[in-house]
Structure 1
Amino acid sequence: MNPTSASFPKHVAVVGAAGGLGQGILRVCRASGVRFTAIVRSRPERVADVPEGCRVAVVPSLADADALTAALHGVDAVITATGVTASSRDPSALLSANMDSVEDAMLLAGVERIVMVNTLLSSLPGQPAGRALRFFASVPGTMGSGAREQHAVVQALGQGALSSLRWTLVRAATNARGKDAPPVASHDWQGAANSWWPVSYDAMGRWMLQEAAANRFVRAAPLVSRRR
């Protein structure tokens, strides 16, 4: 059964809306009648088909709390779909480097809920990185930068970042070729119903939107992937 719009927030801000997962979240919003604010660093034209009640906000730097506050005005929840690409390695684009300004902006805008995507390989906040993530973090180039950024977010949460907010860190298996099937979530692999197989961007976006409203995993880092 497909979730109805009653399962979702009324208006979400999507940080990193121009990327693959971000576009998937926006597709779910359009199909479900959820209003969105698509936050991009540049080139707002990359977000096409903006329904009435939705908007695109250009925020070149996550360190700019004033610009973020304006972009977050009127939203019920924030969903991040950020990653590291060849064009986004600048510290101003990294969530880990700007969590204080994101928190300040959300509080000023009256938004307390944030759902963040991360890699399935990440440890729980407060725990050291596992062997697999350490390996990928050692790889040169974008892959290594991305792994280091995702671990830095986990470390920051473990040290108290975003402590005034209701956050969920989604350790997700997702890619452009993933299956469009409802993912399942578990606190850990032992006894879990899910697997390492990825789901589509749309399926993961749908799960993140549901979690933003359901609050099942507040201050938690569930593993979210395809059912076995």
Structure 2
Amino acid sequence: MTITKFVNNPLIKEFNGLKRFFRKYETDVSKERILDFKHFTSMINSSGDKVAFDLLGSVNFGQAERYSDADVIIYLDCDEPGITECGAESCEKYKLYKKLLMNTLVYEYANNTYKVEFVDCINLRQLERDIIDTKTDSFTIVKFAFYRSICRGINRSVLRYYENLLMNNEELCDAIETALEDCFRGLTKTSQHSYSFRKYMERLEHNKGFKVPESVAQKVKSYLWK
């Protein structure tokens, strides 16, 4: 999902256009991983708490294979004292859900075990406060806007409230757009990002038996050389 305010940002639009191409040829493994995470969030919701995810990497592009890691952003109401950024190792709720995810979802619900890589954790209480306070220097807001612009959300009903809260604050959206673009530019310059695109194209050629159109290959090259 792209937050409406940023949908026509050239960098975001270009990235999501490429992502849509790869998702047209989504693997069964990608679909299974998504169902795994939906199962997990449903289990947490039934307990009265809330958790949501954004999926990055190969699952986001629909190109996951059996040996692929699942790269995730986790959203939760952290239980640390005060309203602060989620301290991954000091937040007991984060550690609990990480353990549950690894032991319950991956080893019991999943058809095949796989590694889950926790890339980031966002404290929804802090996110809400920073948006309401129009905190233009909040890195938490920038990260949320970045992830929501490019990733694949799980349990969107939880995230939608914060998306709408941000979209309704035009001053804040205008203030963070430059920082959001800086995140994209930083991403495109990493060797890992370039490698991922090459890997996805190779998987299409190997698994689907066709060559990625030259027009798409050129778009990937142009995107990576921004």
TM-score normalised by length of structure 2: 0.28
- Of Structure 1 and Structure 2, the greater helix share is in 2
> Which protein has the larger Cα radius of gyration, Structure 1 or Structure 2?
2
Higher relative strand content: 1
